[in-house]
């Protein structure tokens, strides 16, 4: 029994190892361009405009989205909109991949300010809004993503009151890196 056991073990030890199957990457980075509008409205200030920008997105396990983008806006002056978001996409069938994200958006730059008895001094700092972005018409085709008409709404604080942030992305086109 001993020589047979040694023969089997030596055969297993000298046999070629099974080919390793590469694991799919958990992260898929993509670069995207977007066009749209954002406006922040409160009793103390109004800020926003129309424009476009660029961003980077990481899709984790094909479902979870982490993204950051910056856009230049014009209309109410020159505004830089910076958005950081996290959310999820689902893929019920084919290329359709609707998504929902929680986003923190900051608007920096020109604005219209209103002095009222409730806020007798200008509000200092950027307009910040935390909200929800929905992308119902979003499609993923291999390494490319296209989204049309993303809608976002958020709330911010302008002491002593609240502000509302509205966002509309008309078109977003991305490609995997």
Residue 130's contacts (CB-CB under 8 Å, 6 or more residues apart) are 102, 103, 104, 105, 154, 155, 156
> What's phi and psi for 20, nearest 5 deg?
-80, 130
In a domain, 70, yes or no: yes
In a domain, 152, yes or no: yes
In a domain, 43, yes or no: yes
In a domain, 9, yes or no: no
In a domain, 142, yes or no: yes
In a domain, 13, yes or no: no
H helix and E strand count, the chain: 1, 10
CATH of the domain at 147: 2.40.160.20
The pTM (predicted TM-score) of the whole model is 0.81
Task: Residue 80: give the domain boundaries.
Answer: 24-176
Please tell me the total count of domains within the chain.
Answer: 1
In a domain, 15, yes or no: no
pLDDT band at 2 (very low <50, low <70, confident <90, very high): low
In a domain, 134, yes or no: yes
Q: Tell me: the pLDDT tens digits for 39-88?
A: 999 988 999 999 999 999 999 998 999 999 999 999 988 999 999 999 99
Q: Are 159 and 42 in contact (CB under 8 A)?
A: no
Q: Tell me: the pLDDT tens digits for 115-152?
A: 888 777 888 889 999 999 999 999 988 889 999 999 99
């Amino acid at each position: 029994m001993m020589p047979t056991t040694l023969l089997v073990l030596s055969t297993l030890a000298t046999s070629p190892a099974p080919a390793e199957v590469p694991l799919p990457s958990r992260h898929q980075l993509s670069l995207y361009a977007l066009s749209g509008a954002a406006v922040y409205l409160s009793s103390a200030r109004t800020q926003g405009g129309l424009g476009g920008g660029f961003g980077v997105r990481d899709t984790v396990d094909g479902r979870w989205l982490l993204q950051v983008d910056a856009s230049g806006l014009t209309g109410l002056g020159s505004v830089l909109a910076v958005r950081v978001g996290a959310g999820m996409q689902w893929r019920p069938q084919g290329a359709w991949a609707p998504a929902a994200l929680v986003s923190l958006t900051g608007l920096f730059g020109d604005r219209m300010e209103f002095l009222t008895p409730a806020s007798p001094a200008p509000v200092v700092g950027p307009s910040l809004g935390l909200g929800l972005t929905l992308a119902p018409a979003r499609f993923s085709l291999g390494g490319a993503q296209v989204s049309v008409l993303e809608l976002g709404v958020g709330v911010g604080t302008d002491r002593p009151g609240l502000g509302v942030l509205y966002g509309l992305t008309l078109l977003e086109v991305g490609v995997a890196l």
